[in-house]
């Protein structure tokens, strides 16, 4: 099932999305939600300029995974100003805050991600990112190219709206700001799993967790939803093809990992295009980087490849992973 709300101001949709979430989890009744929705609409409209300001500030000052120090500080300061119970430093830079409603009831959680990507921004907006950093030995730009700046600003706005209307709430709302959604740096741990291991739900165990993600294909002010998974599960992988170094003038004297890598790459591409029934469930298998060799006339002894697998179904995920193992080992 798919649906969307159209021709409504974005702040009004925000208020109604919040009210619907509270009804689904029993934090308020349907009749109460109708009145609460109007209050949420009005409050959301009053803070729209603040939400825009937060988003643009985050966009101009992006931080990579497990490095969201400034970002987390701004988030935590705002949540404390609302009188919420705030915990910081979860999974390095994660932030969580608890809002207690005036009446007893269940706990729900609302979640946003915090980290940016190693991407150089090529826009001309006044709040364009000019941040650069070292990443995998190269100087790269840093950008909120996946919308996490918007996600954080929205959730900060949601916290503001609900804190002002807590007398209408039955239960509690746990606000979760997750670091390293894009994946922790090599050799480090982070993200949702580490937040759970470090006791995130000891603060309060939610009945359900709600999240959202911006998407460019929908008009402003429209929310899309569907039954079943909306976003694909993501796996990252690294392959190392080992050969034997030799001079480029005598390739027979070694084992060429570049040629072997080319064969593997083509084989991996046929998994999705020829071996998986994508009419049943979508699958995407992509290589993002290939590294091997340092000179034009030397065949290297190894090639490294990294990539991502995106799936919606656990059985399909396992099947594709097994096909990847077969492709890379034969």
Same domain membership, residue 263 and residue 169: no
What is the structure's pLDDT at 7? 35
- Examine the fold and report which residue of 167, 201, 226 is the final residue of a domain before the chain moves on: 226
20-62: per-residue pLDDT in tens? Answer: 565 555 555 544 556 667 777 888 889 999 999 999 999 999 9
What is the structure's pLDDT at 325? 97
Q: Which domain holds residue 322?
A: 233-329
Q: Express the helix, strand and coil content of the chain in percent, nearest 5 each.
A: 40, 25, 35
User: Cα separation of 222 and 40, whole Å?
Assistant: 17
Same domain membership, residue 262 and residue 216: no
- Which has more pLDDT, 12 or 227? 227
What is the structure's pLDDT at 137? 84
Same domain membership, residue 245 and residue 108: no
Same domain membership, residue 198 and residue 319: no
Q: Does the pLDDT at position 304 exceed 60?
A: yes
Q: Does the pLDDT at position 197 exceed 80?
A: yes
226-238: per-residue pLDDT in tens? Answer: 888 888 999 999 9
Same domain membership, residue 121 and residue 8: yes
The domain that contains 109 carries what CATH number?
Answer: 3.40.630.10
129-138: per-residue pLDDT in tens? Answer: 999 999 888 8
* Chain Cα centroid distance, residue 275: 29
- Look at the chain and report how many structural domains it folds into: 2
Q: Using CA atoms of 321, 325, 328, 330 in order, give the dihedral in degrees to the nearest 10.
A: -140
Same domain membership, residue 23 and residue 54: yes
- Examine the fold and report which residue of 209, 226, 243 is the final residue of a domain before the chain moves on: 226
H or E segment and range at residue 95: strand 94-100
pTM of this structure:
0.83
Same domain membership, residue 237 and residue 91: no
Same domain membership, residue 178 and residue 322: no
Same domain membership, residue 217 and residue 254: no
% of the chain exceeding 70 in pLDDT: 89
52-96: per-residue pLDDT in tens? Answer: 999 999 999 999 999 999 999 999 999 999 999 999 999 999 999
The domain that contains 308 carries what CATH number?
Answer: 3.30.70.360
Same domain membership, residue 146 and residue 193: yes
Give the CA count within 13 Å in the CB-facing half-sphere of 25. 25
- Examine the fold and report which residue of 166, 192, 226 is the final residue of a domain before the chain moves on: 226
Per-residue pLDDT, averaged over 92-109, amounts to: 97
């Amino acid at each position: 099932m798919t649906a969307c709300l159209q021709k409504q101001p974005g702040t009004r949709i925000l208020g109604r999305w919040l009210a619907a979430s509270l009804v689904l989890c029993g934090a308020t009744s349907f009749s109460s939600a109708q009145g609460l929705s109007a209050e949420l609409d009005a409050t959301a409209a009053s803070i729209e300029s603040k939400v825009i300001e937060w988003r643009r500030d985050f966009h101009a000052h992006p931080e990579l995974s497990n490095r969201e120090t400034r970002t987390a500080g701004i988030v935590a300061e705002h949540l404390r100003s609302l009188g919420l119970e705030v915990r910081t430093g979860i999974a390095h830079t994660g932030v969580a805050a608890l809002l207690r409603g005036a009446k007893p009831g269940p706990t729900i959680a609302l979640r946003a991600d915090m980290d940016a990507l190693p991407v150089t921004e090529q826009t001309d907006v006044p709040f364009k990112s000019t941040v650069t950093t070292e990443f995998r030995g190269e100087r790269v730009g840093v950008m909120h190219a996946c919308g996490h700046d918007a996600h954080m600003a929205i959730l900060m706005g949601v916290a503001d709206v609900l804190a002002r209307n807590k007398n209408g709430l039955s239960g509690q709302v746990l606000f979760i700001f997750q670091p390293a959604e894009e994946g922790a740096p090599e050799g480090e741990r982070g993200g949702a799993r580490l937040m759970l291991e470090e006791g995130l739900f000891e603060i309060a165990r939610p009945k359900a967790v709600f999240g959202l993600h911006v998407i460019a294909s929908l008009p402003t002010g429209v929310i899309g939803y569907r039954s079943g998974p909306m976003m694909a599960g993501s796996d990252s992988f690294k392959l190392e093809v080992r050969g034997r170094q030799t001079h480029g003038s005598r390739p027979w004297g070694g084992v060429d990992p570049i040629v072997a890598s080319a064969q593997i790459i083509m084989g991996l591409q046929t998994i999705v295009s020829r071996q998986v029934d994508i009419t049943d469930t979508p699958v995407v298998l992509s290589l993002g980087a290939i590294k091997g060799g340092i000179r034009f006339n030397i065949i290297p002894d190894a090639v490294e490849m990294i990539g991502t697998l995106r799936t919606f179904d656990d059985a399909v995920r396992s099947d594709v992973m097994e096909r990847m193992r077969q492709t890379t080992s034969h």
